[in-house]
């Protein structure tokens, strides 16, 4: 997508749940206007498909919600980080002028990020879909099949099915591997399993994941990107697979923002901890 197509109808998204989000969107609106680029400011709760490019003012949660909405329409998005980590963001508010310069000079690319779906729950996720039993105070038994073939059963607090993009989120906290966003696979990670032989599994994205549970559960709780929740009767099997939609994330050029740099800078990957002497 070149510059002329990109700026046809820019939408600036803000969230009332994030401090200074709307003010930041208005600041960017005026900065774009000074460069003869028109845009529209909308709330994250009132997204519309009538746009050519979306800039999200917020944290990773805002980007995930916006990405799920715009993925079916193949509309690219970019995040301006106003949160804590901003792993999916490209710039901070202080770099707005750099952002505009990159857009004006066509210094960007659009990455397709794999997404997953759970049809029975009508859920789509860029990061992950989490499966849990309806009894939070105790573990549940989950049965896992891959492409119709029985693999194993877990006694655990839940299961995470993650995309490569989500490998640095909940999956990482639960002991899963880190995958480069360009990898074409899915990651299955048990949450607090009650056996030392339970380990994360990485499978091709073309494989279909089937999860069922024991009769002691009335419902299976499914959670997409930590934001959308659906209850599925425990007598039904949950099928999770690669979505037909891809999230389109803009990546700016001439910026130290490759995946490995982000791991080092934002997750302090491989950096020895510092101890203060008493």
Tens of pLDDT along 252-276?
987 766 788 778 877 777 666 665 5
| All domains of the chain in start order, with CATH | 3-107+253-267 (3.40.50.10330), 116-243 (2.60.200.30)
Q: Give, as one character, the DSSP assignment of residue 11.
A: E
Higher pLDDT, 55 or 134: 55
Beta bridge partners of 203: 186
pLDDT of residue 274: 63
pLDDT of residue 276: 57
pLDDT of residue 269: 73
**Do 123 and 276 form a contact (C-beta atoms < 8 A)?**
no
Average pLDDT, the chain: 90
Higher pLDDT, 94 or 262: 94
Closest CA to 51 of 1, 9, 6, 2: 9
**Do 39 and 12 form a contact (C-beta atoms < 8 A)?**
yes
Asked if residue 75 has pLDDT above 80, the reply is yes
The alpha-helical segments, DSSP class H, found in 134-176 are 170-173
pLDDT (mean) for 152-160: 92
How far, in Å, CA of 96 to CA of 31, rounded? 8
Closest CA to 177 of 189, 190, 160: 189
SS3 content of the chain, % helix, strand, coil (to 5): 25, 40, 40
For residue 38, the tally of other CB atoms under 10 A from its CB is: 11
pLDDT (mean) for 140-152: 93
pLDDT of residue 6: 87
Query: Which are the catalytic amino acids?
Result: 60
Q: What six digits make up the tokens of 151?
A: 């693999």
pLDDT-derived band at 242 (thresholds 50, 70, 90) equals very high
> What are the tens digits of pLDDT across the range 19-65?
899 999 999 999 999 999 999 999 999 999 999 999 999 999 999 99
The alpha-helical segments, DSSP class H, found in the chain are 3-6, 21-34, 60-70, 96-104, 170-173, 259-267
pLDDT of residue 136: 66
pLDDT of residue 5: 82
For residue 149, the tally of other CB atoms under 10 A from its CB is: 9
What SS3 state is found at 58?
Answer: strand
Q: Are strands 39-43 and 10-14 parallel, antiparallel or unpaired?
A: parallel
Q: What is the pTM of this model?
A: 0.91
């Amino acid at each position: 997508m070149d510059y002329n197509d990109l700026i046809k109808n820019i939408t600036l998204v803000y969230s009332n749940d994030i401090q200074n989000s709307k003010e930041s969107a208005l600041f960017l609106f005026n900065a774009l206007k000074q460069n003869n680029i028109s845009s529209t400011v909308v709330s994250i709760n009132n997204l519309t498909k009538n746009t050519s490019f979306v800039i999200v003012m917020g944290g990773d949660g805002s980007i995930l919600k916006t990405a799920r909405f715009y993925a079916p329409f193949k509309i690219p998005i970019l995040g301006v980080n106003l949160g804590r980590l901003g792993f999916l963001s490209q710039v901070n508010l202080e770099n707005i002028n750099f952002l505009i310069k990159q857009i004006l000079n066509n210094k960007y690319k659009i990455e397709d990020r794999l997404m997953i779906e759970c049809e029975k729950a009508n859920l789509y996720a860029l990061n992950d879909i989490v499966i849990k039993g309806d009894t939070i105070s105790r573990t549940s038994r989950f049965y896992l099949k891959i492409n119709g073939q029985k693999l194993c059963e877990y006694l655990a607090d839940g299961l995470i099915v993650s995309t490569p993009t989500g490998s640095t989120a909940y999956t990482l906290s639960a002991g899963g591997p880190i995958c480069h966003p360009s990898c074409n696979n899915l990651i299955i990670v048990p949450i607090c399993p009650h056996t030392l032989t339970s380990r994360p599994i990485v499978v091709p994205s073309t494989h279909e994941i089937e999860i069922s549970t024991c009769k002691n559960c009335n419902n299976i709780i499914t959670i997409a990107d930590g934001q959308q929740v659906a209850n599925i009767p425990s007598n039904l099997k949950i099928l999770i697979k690669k979505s037909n939609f891809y999230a389109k994330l803009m990546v700016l050029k001439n910026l130290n923002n490759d995946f490995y740099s982000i791991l080092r800078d934002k997750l302090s990957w491989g950096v020895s901890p510092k101890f203060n002497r008493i």
